[in-house]
């Protein structure tokens, strides 16, 4: 940078001199030096003064001058204008699919395909530079740089020649004139420290990048609109200084010289746009500018000269709804970006209403530790939402709040949340939602709320597009006769690259690159079209209605119907723009008169504005009558007739002459354009071209969330003046690299390919061997390796690599039950499934868990024959585990210690031996042999056995003390299980990341996989392991209870539940009873509980905290206070697992609130000295116990990952299950206990029907399940409060093994059909909703029914050859269901499979809630084949607009 003399009156001026007079740039520069020399007095002073010489596209310069020197230059005849340098702000991908530019075939006829994805179009980006290492700029598969390119790759700080490639074909930066402070906080090179330019460039032309998200939100594929275009980067914008005129003009000048086709400028109102930009357009370059982020205030649109395309911003069909749960069980929905799990508590927090959240209101409210509601409709008109939000955020953060609910008219403030989600949960709502919160606050005694994690919702459920509230509005202040903006495009919550990651930004800066990309695609299809023709095509084909035919709205205060000052011609429609039929062309020379008006060289400018042949008309001053002219050019069929259709502005009469125009072969072909004809469109009195120029206020709607582009951010850990690079430790992390089907049968060859891939990234074979942890080579190809992030990214670019994911760790999900299910071990039930399956004889069941305790009596192999010959596994020895630990029952055992922390290995056995007990419990539940006389301290006494007691067990220890169940070890276990030859694989563990890869390969090898669904219920959308090819299991109760008698001092006896079997703790003496309400620390401390039995009962508080947490708190408080017993009340009594171990310390009895109330009213409040005593717990089995019930802890649907896949699939016993742990037997609860029940039934069915596919077995289980209990009553689901169970609680219902063995019909899926679904999950395919809907599953979920949906299913007869089935429909509320055909007959010799169609039609338009039904095929005798149905109807507005 030049060192300029520091003087208050020396400033940077832009001197514009028009067209260059010489082709030689050096001669042009010399003329600049001469002009400066004549003013400054010497050549040396001139050389010191000049900053930029604009010599390629036009003539001019930027120089440091005093005001008088600038005035002197302005008098030179060759000088047109002299202006002070000004600084401009930056205007800051689902979006491309939303615009119809689907990347994948079969849309071969679309613009994207016609344009060959923008192949070799050169797009210049004037912005903050580029981060070249981003995956979005990979040049794999690109050919040579186009020969016409004349640019360069300018090197500099952290930017060398290799930073450019065949994608980024050129890069320049402009540092002269930038302050020293700005240069210190930025890279002095084209490298982008800010991220804005990288985001813009990747939105325009980024290559396809799979698996992108922001903390799991907006996940999918990131790509640009013209993914095969080339990029030319011009860094004219800098940290601190923004985008000075001088640097932007230098960038435009070079872009003209370099040979760009399109120039994209996502920056604020550019002063010298009247000069440099015009020269660019006259060289055939299309310029696209952002329109500004100062909306919804009128007259704020910038960059309004007629030869550029000015872009407004609008929303896409993606939202981020966040559920706000109230203490009264009501749920409301707002918008947020919360993806920091550590900040999202499952506990309720106090709600405080602080009105406007001004400093005074917050100071006068106790907001510390609470969630604050800020809502002041009456104040909204005084402060823009963005300012009010910023103030509220600062005030609540400083006051120690734990969350913020902020209300305003519209929710287009999402970008203001960027970074906040790492500090405090913030949810945006509209005032309607806020009012419901206020009503709750005013009526609840102790109002509380909690947030659920934010979700991503995409599609028709979101009202879109809408013009964003921040988008600057017309009319143009500078040129009121030029209608601006020209177009709107997606600019809200756009996912694109920033450095090495991907972020959501909003702004017209994000809308501008969308139009730039479409411009490039049209340029590719129509290379002879002028910039004006391309702009015309975009404007005239734009949409003014949304997908439902409703007028597009504009977010404002209040929301309104959009008009041309909001969105110009409308919302961009790329495919239509490629074939507009007619265009309004402008010879670029015609702009000269307009330009000369702007610099005062001509008069009569109103006429030039009115008659410029633009695809819009603005008449700012109609008095009586105005006439204007337009020329249209036919670019469509040679033979065509067009008729004028006028929508006249209110109060204005419009006439068009002629009103019918015909084009014929051989007609007029102006400007060498084919099939063209010129006709004057004469508009008497004013034409609005079918658009109103005045604001048409429509119905008021509350807003939906969006993001506003904020100011440029200082990168984490760096402030102004900090060094641009800091030293960081480079950490290696375990990554899972998935490569799909193995390419070789020989595992060693597969492993060698893994070593080769690693060697190419790490540099040596030795480093590769050190790095690799697991090679997955049997069932599929992939490996786990210790890598840095950059190494992982490098591997992800390999064509053979499908996904690269960081290793994650999963939690484990933790026998009367088999008798309860009807699988009675003893004859005479000779016809049952257990007997038909020969008790699971020789079925091999793999168990992926914490290992096995081989000495347990449950794994005795007495009476077993040889190990099945097909078994290929091994018995891996290790710590306290040798070859004799396996036998003919446990036929194989492996453990996976690589990648496990040293701490975990110290606290576990480094072998398949199970220190935890979970795996042993699961394995014995599945296939334990019969063990007599088992109990837990005398409780639950009887026979312990597994569901398939003659099955063989293969043990895979992938879960460890401390570390849990890492992806890498689980995947290794699945890989080996495929190789070893298991028939069924049981995985009682939390949501498994790579389930999309390894599990699919297992199913495609005929292995049935059964997963637990999770223990995070009863919260909706918590179910895990939800891919369609596995069976996902919920947990329910059995018909066994453990009643405990509570004797009162008045001889009354009440009954609760307990596990008291420690006789030394059960006193025969009465003890004092004390009531401590919720048993909080304060209440226990204020009560004298020492030596007493404490009653904890607080119904009003129960809705604030989950019962399990409340129980643990009460236990801790009472134990520490020296109590001798606890009676704990809650809505449900499914907390028995929380008592594990407590029975050895203190008697605890669980009661419901009814019993607690009797203790209080009937006894405690009336007795002078209330006393109680407990009797030992008993075991009760049979019809007296209400069962089954879905357990309160059982995770619920719908699936967050795949809402179109109904999960869970089934429920099975998972509460107080007695099974082996080490040498004893214990009661465990969890979906981990339910999963092995389904695994065993799956094994039995596999034994009876060895030729059935995993899908057929799953179908048999789901379609024969029970939805009523033994008394014909609907099964209930424990929750707060308890409810009737629906498919999101239990899938098809409660498992019925004997019926599952003979289902009559099954829904089969060829395992290859899952491939499309899998490809969707890794971003290789679009249209995933269709794959989910039509996958031949034994369930149907439609999460977004608007009007009508049709899906198809195929049923296969596995029952009697001659059979007729009739459809019985239980329609979800508000939905009509039709089945075609409704009767199906099977005959001997006929087809065994029949396809039918289901059509769902919404009968009413309601938002959000799911309703449930079923379809049953009945043969009127033996078989009823039932599948569950879940439908959610939605309307146009979503989330924050309505709840």
Which residues are marked as active site?
Answer: 127, 196, 509, 849, 918, 1232
Residue 766 burial (C-beta neighbours within 10 Å; 0-12, 13-18, 19+): exposed
For residue 1188, say if its preceding peptide bond is cis, omega within 30 degrees of 0.
yes
Q: Report DSSP state, residue 271.
A: G
Q: How far apart are alpha carbons 152 and 516 in whole angstroms?
A: 22
Q: How far apart are alpha carbons 1228 and 1216 in whole angstroms?
A: 5
Neighbours of 79 (CB within 10 A): 17
Pull the structure tokens for residue 808. Answer: 């994650």
Neighbours of 631 (CB within 10 A): 16
3-class state of residue 816 by DSSP: helix
Q: How far apart are alpha carbons 1296 and 301 in whole angstroms?
A: 66
Q: How large is the C-alpha radius of gyration of the chain?
A: 36
Q: Report DSSP state, residue 877.
A: -
Q: Report DSSP state, residue 1194.
A: S
Q: How far apart are alpha carbons 1430 and 1349 in whole angstroms?
A: 13
Residue 647 burial (C-beta neighbours within 10 Å; 0-12, 13-18, 19+): exposed
3-class state of residue 720 by DSSP: coil
Tell me the DSSP string of 1086-1140.
TS--TTSEEEE--HHHHTTS-HHHHHHHHHHHHHHTT-SEEEEEES----GGGGT
For strands 952-957 and 844-849, give the pairing: parallel
For residue 106, say if its preceding peptide bond is cis, omega within 30 degrees of 0.
yes
Look up tokens 């330019």; give the residue. Answer: 197
Instruction: Tell me the three-class secondary structure of 1369-1415, residue by residue.
Output: EECCCCEEEEEECCEEEECCCCCCEEEEEEEEEECCCCCCCEEEEEE
Q: How far apart are alpha carbons 230 and 147 in whole angstroms?
A: 12
Give me the count of residues in the chain: 1443
Contacts of residue 234, Cβ cutoff 8 Å, sequence gap at least 6: 124, 125, 126, 127, 171, 172, 173, 174, 251, 254, 255
Neighbours of 722 (CB within 10 A): 13
Look up tokens 């276990």; give the residue. Answer: 973
Pull the structure tokens for residue 1286. Answer: 């629906």
Pull the structure tokens for residue 1094. Answer: 């404490």
- Return the H-helix or E-strand segment holding 232: strand 230-235
Contacts of residue 225, Cβ cutoff 8 Å, sequence gap at least 6: 96, 99, 101, 112, 118, 203, 204, 205, 513, 514, 517, 518, 520, 521, 574
Question: For 1053, left (φ over 0), alpha (ψ -120 to 50), or beta?
Answer: beta
In Å, how far are 681, 1000, 1397, 1404 from 1317, measured between CA atoms?
53, 10, 21, 31
For strands 331-335 and 321-326, give the pairing: antiparallel
Q: How far apart are alpha carbons 256 and 280 in whole angstroms?
A: 6
Pull the structure tokens for residue 1303. Answer: 């289902």
């Amino acid at each position: 940078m030049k060192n300029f003399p520091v003087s208050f009156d020396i400033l940077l001026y832009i001197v514009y001199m028009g067209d260059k007079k010489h082709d030689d740039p050096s001669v042009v520069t010399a003329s600049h030096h001469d002009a400066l020399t004549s003013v400054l007095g010497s050549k040396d002073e001139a050389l010191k003064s000049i900053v930029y010489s604009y010599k390629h596209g036009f003539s001019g310069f930027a120089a440091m001058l005093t005001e008088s020197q600038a005035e002197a230059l302005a008098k030179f005849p060759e000088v047109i204008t002299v202006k002070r340098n000004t600084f401009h702000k930056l205007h800051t991908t689902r979006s491309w699919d939303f615009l119809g530019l689907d990347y994948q075939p079969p849309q071969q006829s679309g613009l994207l395909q016609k344009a060959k994805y923008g192949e070799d179009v050169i797009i210049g980006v004037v912005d903050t530079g580029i981060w070249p290492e981003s995956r979005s700029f990979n040049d794999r598969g690109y050919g040579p740089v186009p020969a016409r390119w004349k640019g360069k790759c300018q090197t500099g700080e952290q930017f060398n020649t290799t930073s450019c490639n065949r994608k980024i074909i050129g890069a320049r930066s402009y540092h002269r004139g930038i302050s020293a402070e700005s240069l210190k906080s930025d890279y002095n090179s084209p490298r982008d420290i800010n991220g804005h330019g990288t985001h813009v460039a990747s939105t325009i032309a980024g290559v396809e990048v799979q698996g992108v998200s922001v903390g799991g939100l907006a996940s999918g594929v990131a790509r640009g609109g013209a993914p095969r275009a080339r990029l030319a980067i011009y860094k004219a914008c800098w940290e601190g200084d923004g985008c000075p005129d001088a640097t932007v003009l230098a960038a435009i000048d070079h872009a003209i010289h370099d040979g760009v086709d399109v120039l994209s400028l996502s920056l604020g109102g550019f002063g010298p746009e009247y000069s440099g930009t015009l020269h660019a357009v006259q060289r055939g370059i299309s310029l696209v500018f952002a329109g500004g982020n100062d909306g919804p205030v009128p007259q704020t649109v910038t960059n309004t000269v007629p030869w550029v395309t000015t872009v407004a911003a609008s929303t896409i069909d993606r939202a981020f709804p966040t559920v706000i749960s109230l203490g009264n069980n009501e749920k409301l929905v707002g918008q947020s970006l919360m993806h920091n799990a550590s900040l999202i508590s499952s506990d309720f927090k106090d709600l405080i209403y602080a009105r406007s959240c001004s400093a005074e209101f917050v100071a006068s409210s106790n907001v510390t530790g609470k969630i604050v509601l800020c809502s002041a409709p009456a104040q909204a008109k005084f402060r823009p939402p963005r300012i009010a939000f910023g103030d509220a955020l600062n005030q609540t953060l400083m006051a120690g709040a734990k969350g913020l609910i902020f209300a305003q008219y519209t929710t287009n403030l999402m970008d203001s949340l960027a970074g906040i989600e790492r500090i405090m949960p913030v949810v945006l709502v509209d005032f309607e939602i806020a009012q419901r919160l206020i009503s709750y606050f005013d009526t609840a005694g102790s109002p509380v709320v909690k947030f659920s994690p934010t979700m991503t919702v995409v599609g028709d459920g979101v009202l879109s597009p809408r013009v964003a509230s921040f988008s600057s509005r017309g009319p143009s202040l500078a040129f009121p006769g030029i209608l601006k903006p020209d177009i709107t495009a997606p600019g809200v919550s756009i996912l694109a690259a920033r450095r090495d990651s991907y972020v959501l930004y909003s702004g017209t800066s994000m809308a501008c690159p969308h139009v730039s990309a479409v411009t490039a695609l049209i340029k590719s299809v129509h290379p002879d079209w002028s910039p004006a023709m391309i702009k015309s095509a975009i404007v005239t084909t734009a949409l003014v209605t949304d997908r439902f035919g409703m007028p597009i709205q504009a977010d404002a205060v209040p929301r309104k119907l959009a008009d041309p000052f909001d969105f110009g011609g409308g919302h961009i429609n790329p495919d239509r723009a490629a074939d507009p039929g007619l265009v309004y062309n402008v010879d670029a020379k015609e702009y000269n008169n307009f330009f000369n008006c702007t610099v005062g060289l001509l008069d009569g400018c109103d006429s030039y504005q009115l008659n410029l042949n633009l695809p819009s008309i603005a008449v700012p001053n109609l008095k009586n009558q105005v006439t204007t002219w337009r020329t249209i050019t036919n670019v469509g069929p040679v033979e065509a007739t067009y008729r004028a259709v006028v929508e006249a502005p209110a109060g204005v009469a419009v006439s068009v002459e002629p009103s019918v125009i015909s084009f014929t072969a051989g007609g007029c072909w102006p400007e060498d354009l084919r099939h063209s004809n010129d006709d004057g469109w004469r508009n008497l009195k004013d034409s609005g071209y079918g658009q109103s120029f005045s604001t048409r206020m429509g119905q008021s709607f509350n807003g939906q969330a969006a993001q506003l582009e904020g100011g440029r951010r200082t990168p984490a850990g760096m402030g102004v003046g900090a060094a641009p690079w800091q030293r960081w430790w480079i950490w290696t992390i375990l990554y899972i690299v998935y490569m799909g089907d193995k390419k070789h049968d020989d595992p060693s060859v597969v492993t060698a390919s893994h070593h080769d891939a690693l060697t190419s990234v790490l540099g040596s074979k030795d480093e590769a061997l050190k790095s690799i942890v697991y090679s997955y080579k049997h069932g599929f190809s992939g490996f786990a390796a210790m890598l840095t992030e950059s190494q992982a990214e490098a591997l992800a670019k390999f064509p053979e690599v499908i996904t690269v994911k960081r290793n994650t760790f999963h939690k484990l999900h933790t026998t009367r039950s088999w008798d309860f299910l009807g699988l009675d071990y003893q004859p005479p039930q000779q016809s049952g499934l257990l007997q038909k399956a020969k008790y699971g004889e020789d079925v091999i069941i793999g168990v992926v868990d914490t290992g096995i305790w081989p000495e347990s009596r449950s794994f005795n192999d007495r009476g077993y024959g040889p190990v099945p010959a097909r078994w290929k596994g091994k018995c891996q020895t290790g710590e306290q585990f040798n070859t004799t630990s396996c036998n003919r029952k446990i036929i194989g055992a492996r453990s996976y210690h690589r990648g496990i922390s040293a701490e975990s290995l110290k606290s576990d056995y480094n072998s398949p031996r199970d220190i935890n007990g979970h795996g042993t419990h699961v394995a014995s539940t599945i296939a334990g042999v019969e063990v007599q006389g088992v109990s837990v301290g005398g409780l639950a006494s009887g026979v312990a056995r597994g569901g398939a007691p003659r099955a063989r067990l293969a043990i895979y220890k992938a879960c460890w003390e401390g570390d849990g169940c890492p992806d890498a070890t689980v995947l290794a276990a699945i890989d080996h299980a495929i190789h070893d030859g298991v028939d069924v694989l049981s995985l009682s563990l939390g949501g498994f990341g790579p389930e999309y890869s390894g599990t699919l390969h297992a199913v495609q090898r005929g292995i049935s996989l059964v997963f637990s669904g999770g223990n995070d219920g009863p919260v909706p959308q918590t179910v895990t392991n939800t891919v369609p090819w596995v069976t996902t299991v919920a947990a329910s109760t059995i018909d066994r209870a453990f009643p405990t008698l509570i004797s009162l001092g008045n001889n009354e006896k009440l009954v609760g539940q307990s596990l008291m079997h420690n006789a030394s703790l059960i006193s025969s003496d009465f003890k004092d009873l004390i009531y401590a309400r919720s048993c909080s620390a304060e209440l226990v401390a204020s009560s004298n509980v020492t030596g007493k039995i404490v009653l904890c009962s607080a119904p009003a508080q129960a809705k604030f905290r989950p019962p399990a947490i409340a129980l643990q708190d009460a236990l801790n408080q009472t134990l520490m206070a020296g109590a001798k017993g606890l009676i704990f009340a809650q809505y449900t009594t499914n907390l028995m697992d929380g008592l594990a171990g407590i029975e050895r310390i203190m008697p605890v009895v669980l009661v419901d609130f009814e019993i607690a109330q009797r203790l209080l009213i009937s006894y405690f409040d009336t007795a002078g000295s209330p006393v109680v005593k407990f009797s030992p717990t008993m075991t009760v089995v049979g019809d007296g116990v209400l069962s089954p019930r879905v357990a309160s802890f059982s995770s619920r649907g719908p699936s967050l990952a795949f809402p179109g896949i109904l999960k869970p699939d089934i429920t099975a016993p998972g509460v107080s299950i007695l099974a082996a742990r080490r040498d004893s037997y214990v009661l465990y609860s969890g979906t981990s206990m339910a999963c092995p029940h389904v695994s065993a039934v799956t094994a039995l069915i596999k034994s009876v029907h060895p030729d059935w596919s995993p899908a057929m077995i799953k179908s048999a289980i789901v379609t024969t399940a029970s939805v009523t209990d033994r008394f014909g009553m609907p099964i209930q689901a424990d929750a707060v409060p308890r409810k009737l169970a629906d498919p999101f609680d239990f899938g098809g219902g409660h498992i019925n093994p004997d019926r599952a063995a003979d289902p009559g019909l099954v829904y089969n899926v060829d395992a290859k059909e899952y491939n499309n679904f899998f490809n969707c999950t890794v971003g290789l395919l679009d249209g995933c909703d269709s794959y989910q809907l039509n996958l031949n599953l034994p369930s149907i979920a439609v999460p977004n029914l608007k009007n009508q949906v049709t899906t198809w299913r195929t049923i296969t007869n596995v029952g009697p050859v001659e059979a007729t089935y009739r459809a019985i429909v239980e329609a979800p509320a508000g939905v009509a269901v039709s089945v075609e055909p409704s009767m199906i007959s099977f005959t001997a010799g006929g087809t065994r499979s029949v396809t039918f169609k289901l059509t769902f039609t919404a009968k009413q338009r309601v938002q959000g809630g799911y309703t449930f039904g079923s379809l049953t095929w009945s043969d009127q005798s033996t078989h009823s084949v039932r599948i569950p149905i879940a439908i959610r109807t939605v309307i146009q507005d979503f989330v924050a607009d309505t709840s």
